[in-house]
Amino acid sequence: MRNRILALGLVAMAAHAETVSSLWSRGYAVLPEPQQVELRDHDIRFGPAWSIDRGAGVAPGDVAVETLSDELQSRFGLHAATGGGRAVRLEIRVGSVAPGQALDPDKQAVAEQAYRLEIGDSGIAITSNAAPGLFYGAETLVQLLRPRDGGVYLPQCMIMDWPDLHLRHIYWDDAHHLERLPELKRAIRQAAFYKVNGFALKLEGHFQFRNAPALVEPYALSRPPSTRN
């Protein structure tokens, strides 16, 4: 009986070991888990000497570039260099990333969210077919960064990723309480960090009514200026 229990335990451990991702075994994690990961020999140190470069197809003010810069500063206190040295290069090229199998029948929408992230000694490249994929590639890069031994490190790797479903919504219930706008923005940014692209917000009597102000609480959301007439 004891041997049988031991055997079952070993089988369970083996099954668990097979579910541990290669990134996790290296001390890194990305949510959701990327579709394809190829790890290379060693980790590299990331720091303020790195710059962020806009490649082909990336316009000034692109959300991926701005988000990457903001996340590096807010999470790690890193300010990207203005140029020179090693760089994180972001580029949009239609047809550059071919997604694999996905549950969603809308293959075009899936392809628009696909990206390839390559991290090496000489630099980092994020390539996508469209702006959504570039944004998700930037968020994956931020998730990979790990503080260690007084520095911030990344694994040398190549990641190819695309969603199984192009719509990924969460439900936010504000019917029985009310978050103010800064908190809602924080929640949306946090959801986007994990590649959630839909925010279903439930509201009931949380708006001010011009003709019946007594029907809502005094801290209700005000109407946009364009509707006040």
Q: Which helix (H) or strand (E) holds 7?
A: helix 2-19
70 in a domain, yes or no? Answer: yes
55 in a domain, yes or no? Answer: yes
Is residue 114 located within the same domain as residue 147? yes
Q: Residue 204's pLDDT is what?
A: 72
Q: Residue 121's pLDDT is what?
A: 92
Is residue 111 located within the same domain as residue 206? no
Is residue 208 located within the same domain as residue 130? no
Q: Are 43 and 78 in contact (CB under 8 A)?
A: no
Annotate 35-72 with b (16+ C-beta within 10 A) or e (fewer): bebebeeebbebeeebbbbbeebbeeebebbebbbebb
Is residue 187 located within the same domain as residue 146? no
10 in a domain, yes or no? Answer: no
Enclosing domain of residue 186: 169-227
- pTM for the structure as a whole: 0.83
Q: Residue 16's pLDDT is what?
A: 43
DSSP secondary structure string for all residues of 127-149 = EESSHHHHHHHHHHHHHH-EEET
Of 132, 161, 190, at which residue does a domain stop?
A: 161
Give burial (CB, 10 Å; 0-12/13-18/19+) of 74: exposed
With H, G, I as helix, E, B as strand and everything else as coil, classify residue 167: coil
Q: Which helix (H) or strand (E) holds 203?
A: none
Of 143, 161, 179, at which residue does a domain stop?
A: 161
* CA–CA distance, 17 with 145 (Å, rounded to integer): 24
Return the axis-axis angle of helices 63-76 and 131-144, rounded to nearest 10°. 10
Q: Residue 179's pLDDT is what?
A: 81
Smallest Cα–Cα separation from 96: which of 128, 53, 133?
Answer: 128
Q: Residue 39's pLDDT is what?
A: 96
Place of tokens 């959630």: 196
Task: Tally the domains of the chain.
Answer: 2
Of 161, 183, 209, at which residue does a domain stop?
A: 161
Q: Residue 215's pLDDT is what?
A: 64
Q: Residue 229's pLDDT is what?
A: 47
Residues in the chain with pLDDT < 50? 1-18, 229
Q: Residue 176's pLDDT is what?
A: 77
130 in a domain, yes or no? Answer: yes
Is residue 25 located within the same domain as residue 131? yes
Is residue 53 located within the same domain as residue 74? yes
Place of tokens 């001010």: 208
Q: Are 178 and 107 in contact (CB under 8 A)?
A: no
Is residue 73 located within the same domain as residue 155? yes
* Parallel, antiparallel or unpaired: strands 115-120 and 123-128: antiparallel
